[in-house]
Amino acid sequence: MISIIIPTYNRASVLREAIHSVFNQDYFQGREPGKTYELIIVDDGSTDDTEQLAEDLGDRLYYVRQQNRGVSAARNVGLDLAKGEYIAFLDSDDLWKREKLSVQMSLMEALPRTKLCYTDETWVRKGVFVNPKNRHRKYSGWIFDKVLPLCLLSLSSALFRCEVFDKVGCFDESLPACEDYDLGIRLAQRYPIHFIDSFLITKRGGHADQLSRKYWGMDRFRVKALEKALLLDLTPHQQELVKREIVIKSQVLVAGFEKRGKMEEAAIYQNKIAAYS
């Protein structure tokens, strides 16, 4: 069984489409919910019509509501509830192509030692298609070095065997953003990651409530994730890669803080540059 987890907060306007992109998966056609898949909606304290939307869909999904604690906490609640052998996440503003899970399940069944896979994605910003830059290129295999500069693992595109989270842990609820970057580092350190070179999801961005708009200086959270990574069982080469990335991101932060006249904050990252250089 596949457990599909959708965390959401005040996204009723787009959530219905996301849910139906799950229901419309050709992998599920002719199969009953509860046997082949379960859909778990974790409402992170929405004040819009999210609860009513879930009630309208009845027993086709499992709806749980919590006080507003952030997307990491919502995903972790979903993981605690999940009963499937496989785990998939879908952000409430993203969409799956009809064949997404069929393609991924075919691969996972053909390669039983593969623990997770992810796909390419189509980007839409405010209704306009956007071409990713070269730095967003996806990779297969042991890609630890590739996930350090930026988050390559789009959770909406990934499919995991459930035991992965027993090994690497869940989402870090202390991170208000970049929690997917943090998880990607831990995954890439432990497992080869299989990339499926097909555009099987649509990522819809440009919303006013996106975390990248809410928080300035997202590299603050990436630096924290990188410092956590130094506690993993890394090779000497991997340690050097992580330290180098901390320096690079700290340099960006220092420039940003100094530009804003925040010299105390700049000094914090200047100290990190000195410590990891």
Residue 206, pLDDT score: 60
* pLDDT < 50 stretches in the chain: none
**Of the residues 210, 239, 254, which one is the last residue of a structural domain?**
210
Task: Indicate whether 248 and 148 sit together in one domain.
Answer: no
Q: Which domain holds residue 91?
A: 2-210
Location of structure tokens 């419309």: 24
Judge if 201 and 225 occupy the same domain: no
- pLDDT (0 to 100) of residue 127: 79
| End residue of a domain, out of 170, 191, 210 | 210
Question: Residue 215's pLDDT is what?
Answer: 61
pTM reported for the whole predicted model: 0.93
Inter-residue contact 157 to 200 (CB < 8 Å): yes
DSSP label at residue 97: -
Total number of domains constituting the chain: 2
β-pairing, 62-65 with 128-130? unpaired
Same domain, 76 and 189: yes
Rg (CA), the chain: 19
Whether residues 176 and 242 share a domain: the answer is no
Q: Is 30 left (phi over 0), alpha (psi -120 to 50) or beta?
A: left
270, 166: one domain = no
Q: What is the model's pLDDT at position 251?
A: 97
* Beta-carbon contacts of residue 203 (< 8 Å; ≥ 6 apart): 91, 93, 94, 121, 122, 123, 124, 154, 156
Same domain, 235 and 174: no
What is the Cα–Cα distance from 52 to 16, expressed in whole angstroms? 11
